Structure 1
Amino acid sequence: MAVRGWVLGLAVASLALGAGCSSAPKQSHTAVTASPTPIERLNTGSMRLAQTPFCSRLSDAALRDALASKKLSGVKATRWGNGDKADVETGLDDVVHEIGCRWSHDQSSASAWVFARSTTAQQAQAVVADSGRHRGCRAATTGVSFGSPSVRQACRLSDGTRRVRVAGLFGATWLSCEVAAPGATPARDVRERADAWCVQVANALNTTR
């Protein structure tokens, strides 16, 4: 089973919460373009996020902003569902227990995924606590309004890539999203792009819109 660097607690929990998961069905939706709400003003308390396929609801404009690209030609799109075999982070295809997608080009990428099973506050707190224990990464829980609890993790990967990941618990749904960019990109730029991308993702999943 594929396990991301700081979601081990949730992956283990999935085994206890239920087995026999099947691949998520493909769905067609109209892309959602949310107003440019700053992440700190996102009204997460009133949001309810679905644990269903959502990638087709993310607009091209949101992708261009996240990738800092005027065009999407040459961008590779990858999607995966619960029970699929996918390379999410380990470099190897393995069975995943999440629903998500990634758009990538060279060292730049934008990704988002929801855990396929309900998550408790205790499990989420364990993930938040673990998020700052990885080499090359720093985690912050202040100034992040992305569910409760929530965390922003900023990493410098081994190849020099800058990556910012934001994650949080919305009700019983754990949502993660991230933006990666070449090492020469200013850290603040990557953080701002990740925050804006995550607002778009949360709005695409929000069932109360």
Structure 2
Amino acid sequence: MPTAVRSLLAAVLATVASVAIGVVATGPDDPDPAPPAPADLALADLDTSVLAAHRTGFCPAITAAQVAGALGGEPAGSASYDNGDEVPIAAEVTDVAHEFGCSWTAADGAVARGWVFAPPVSAERAARLARAATQAPGCRPLPEASAYGVSSVAVVCADEGLRTVSHRGLFGDAWLSCSLSAPTAVPRDELVDRADRWCAAVALASASDPA
């Protein structure tokens, strides 16, 4: 793992631990409260503006606990693809992917996804991609969302009984995206919170050393 990323992750965990110690009264013989597990980290716990994602496969670095936390239970299926793979985009239609990505699906139809463009992305193109995300049919910006890299954007979209929260942004020269979909029966605030933590997991996984 690059030194800058190691330092950032260490600082995150140290900060979270110090906040917990200040809130929970401890005696001289009490152990320090443990820092949160990676599955519990939110985007607000990270300075995503200094994270640099790798433009390669990162899915093995995502843990089962992070997936279950996003979906609200164990996944019923999963899929992944690499740059150059043929992937389905519609019924009986495939296309060649120019990204690395993965997804997990729950029995209730919830889907957690993460993907990163294989080619490098400039700051100018990142700004265009962010604007385009807010203009997609059925989507609205999520202004209260934490930053997700640089030129970041978060949107909430609704379609066919599902609500999807997605975050996208520039991490170094990598355009990284994540999304969490769930039936509209799941409260919006709950979905936003779960998506926030899922996207934090995707950001950390993509910034870790490739396998």
TM-score, normalising length: structure 1 = 0.76
The alpha-carbon distance between structure 1 residues 81 and 144, as it changes in their structure 2 partners (threshold 3 A), is: same
Equivalent-residue separation in structure 2 for 1:51 and 1:111 (angstroms): 16
- Return the alpha-carbon distance in structure 2 between the equivalents of residues 94 and 49 of structure 1: 24
Q: How does 1:11-22 map to 2 (within 5 A)?
A: none
- 1:134-155 per-residue CA deviation (whole Å, 9 max, x = no partner) reads 2211024554311011011100
Distance 1:141 1:124, change over 3 A: farther
Greater helix share, structure number: 2
Q: Distance in 2 between matches of 1:51 and 1:77?
A: 21
Partner in structure 1 of residue 149 of structure 2: 147
Percent sequence identity over aligned pairs: 33
Alignment-mate amino acid for residue 202 of structure 1: A
Q: Please say if residues 48 and 207 of structure 1, whose CA atoms lie closer than 8 Å, have aligned partners that are also in contact.
A: no
Displacement of 1:54 in angstroms is: 1.1
Equivalent pair of 2:39/2:66 in contact (CA under 8 Å): no
Which position in structure 2 is the counterpart of 1:101?
102
What is residue 207 of structure 2 aligned with on the other side?
A: 206
The alpha-carbon deviation at position 174 of structure 1 amounts to 0.6
Q: Is the contact between residue 50 and residue 171 of structure 2 (CA under 8 Å) also seen in structure 1? A: no
Q: Give the ranges of 4+ consecutive aligned residues of structure 1 lying more than 4 Å apart after TM superposition.
A: none
Which stretch of the first structure deviates more once superposed, 39-48 or 77-86?
39-48
Q: Which residue of 1 aligns with 2:171?
A: 170
Contact in 1 for aligned 2:155/2:167 (Cα 8 Å): yes
The answer to whether the aligner puts 1:124 opposite 2:126 as a matched pair is yes
Q: Cα RMSD between the aligned structures? A: 1.7
Query: Secondary structure of 1:198's partner?
Result: helix
Q: Deviations over 1:169-207 (max 9, x none)?
A: 011011000100011111111111111001011111114
CA gap 1:183/1:142 in 2 versus in 1, 3 angstroms: closer
Larger Rg: 2
Corresponding letter in the other structure for 2:156 = A
Structure 2 spans left out of the alignment, 5+ residues: 1-36
Matched positions, count: 171
Partner of 1:49: 53
Match of 2:79 in 1: 78
Aligned-partner residue type, residue 65 of structure 2: A
Q: In 2, Cα distance between the equivalents of 1:132 and 1:162?
A: 15
Specify whether residues 136 and 167 from structure 1 end up closer, same or farther in structure 2 by C-alpha distance, changes over 3 A only.
same
The TM-score normalised by the length of structure 2 is: 0.76
Gaps of 5+ in 1: 1-32
**Retained in 1: the 8 A contact 2:154–2:165?**
yes
Per the alignment, residue 191 of structure 1 pairs with 192
- Code of the residue aligned with 2:80 in structure 1: it is R
Give the alignment partner of residue 38 of structure 1, picking from 4, 18, 42: 42
2:72 to 62, 68, 73: 68
Q: Secondary structure at the match of 1:107?
A: coil
The equivalent residue for 2:158 is 156
